[in-house]
């Protein structure tokens, strides 16, 4: 999802995360979320799929607001992309010498 939104660069993601945290803080009247940020190391774990535990609840709230899906789905392994079957080409027929 970060690729679709072009947020794969840490600074871009961090700015979006912080802006969303601020918006959620105002909408839900929860001052704890104002100023909530994400470290570069944490972003890299999330982005790289190296997630061993769920993020803290406040981070979950922000991530869910950013992407519109639950954290379980957001941080789940990507479904295997099915590759198209290779095209079957007709066999190459080489005419005998002199028949060209």
Residue pLDDT, tens place only, 28-87: 999 999 999 999 999 988 888 878 888 999 999 999 999 898 998 888 877 764 445 555
| 3: confidence class by pLDDT, cuts 50, 70, 90 | low
54 located within any domain: yes
**CA 56 to CA 36: how far, in whole Å?**
11
41 located within any domain: yes
Q: What's the structural domain count of the chain? A: 1
Residue 56 DSSP code:
P
What pLDDT, on the 0 to 100 scale, is given for residue 8? 74
Pick from 24, 4, 1, 10: nearest CA to 74: 1
56 located within any domain: yes
Range of the structural domain that residue 24 is part of: 2-74
**CA 87 to CA 43: how far, in whole Å?**
39
Pick from 71, 62, 72, 69: nearest CA to 15: 62
pLDDT digits 0-9 by tens, 78-89:
776 444 555 555
> Tokens 């774990």, residue?
45
Q: What is the pTM of this model?
A: 0.70
**CA 75 to CA 60: how far, in whole Å?**
10
82 located within any domain: no
92 located within any domain: no
């Amino acid at each position: 999802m970060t690729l679709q939104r072009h947020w794969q660069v840490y600074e871009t993601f961090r700015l979006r995360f912080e802006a969303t945290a601020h918006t959620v803080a105002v909408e839900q009247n929860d001052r704890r979320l104002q100023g909530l940020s994400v470290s570069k190391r944490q972003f890299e774990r999330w982005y790289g799929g190296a997630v061993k535990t769920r993020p803290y609840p406040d981070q979950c709230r922000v991530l869910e607001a950013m992407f519109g899906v639950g954290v379980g789905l957001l941080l789940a392994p990507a479904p295997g992309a099915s590759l198209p079957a290779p095209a079957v080409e007709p066999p190459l027929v080489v005419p005998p010498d002199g028949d060209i």
